[in-house]
Amino acid sequence: MLLRVQSKRRAFTLIELIIVMGLIAVFAGLMMPTLGAARKQAQDTVQLQQIQQCGGLIAVFAADRADVYPLASARQFQSSRFWFAPLLRHGYVKSLHEIDPQSKSRGMDVAFAMSVSMTCDPSYYVPDREEYPKLLSERPTRLIRQADVSFPSSKGLLFTYRPGFAQTNRPVLWCCMPERIPAPVLFADGSAEVMAHQDCKMIAPLRPHTHAGQPVITTWYGVRGVDR
């Protein structure tokens, strides 16, 4: 006579399930900073490549046009923000997508802006100057050549315009953030570095109310100054 042996499977108790779920939550919490850091590093690597490609486009443009940086407007702010307009107009790129793959989500805009120093007289931004026009958008531009840059490896050319928007949900410029948020910066010699504006060299205190002396953007002494 065959005996049937019935095996009884022991089910998890509620306490055991809670313990397991707690352990999973702890491990997930330990992994999140590592995953976040890896994601940020990957994003920085992609943006470094993009900003260097933009620098290459500017170099090609300048080589064809008497060594002059692109000048998009008669006013400094517009030339800084829309530096890519001359490249589009003269056929160096066919669309903003070639400059910034995410440009469609930003409208007629790209992730990077050009230093105001590349479109203004070097004597304009000096620490001992008393008066400035009220608005940056009212200040005049002038043609600047690559050879005018005194220290190409230390003078910022392009910077990430609003890198902290995803973290802070505030449309604040890279140079104006109280938080230390590193982002890609391209220098006039073609090198690039991920850095926060607090990492930049300051030869004199900036003047927030006049936007003078801001790292990379309105560097003291313009193309004759340094940012690192």
Q: Would you list the domain boundaries of the chain?
A: 15-224
CA distance 86 to 115: 16
Burial class (CB in 10 A: 0-12, 13-18, 19+), 121: middle
Distance CA 36, CA 45 (A): 14
> In the structure encoding, which two tokens stand for residue 3, read together?
């005996």
Determine what percent of the chain is predicted with pLDDT higher than 70: 83
Q: Are 151 and 140 in contact (CB under 8 A)?
A: no
pTM of the model: 0.79
Give the Å distances, CA to CA, from 93 to 42, 60, 63, 86, 191.
26, 11, 15, 10, 22
Most confident of 69-73, 96-100, 137-141, 197-201: 69-73
Average pLDDT, the chain: 83
Per-residue pLDDT band for 76 (boundaries 50, 70, 90) equals: very high
**Which stretches of the chain are DSSP H helices?**
14-64, 76-81, 85-89, 103-106, 165-168
Q: What per-residue confidence (pLDDT) applies to 35? A: 60
Q: Is the pLDDT of residue 37 over 80?
A: no
Query: Would you tell me how many other CB atoms lie within 10 Å of the CB of residue 132?
Result: 17
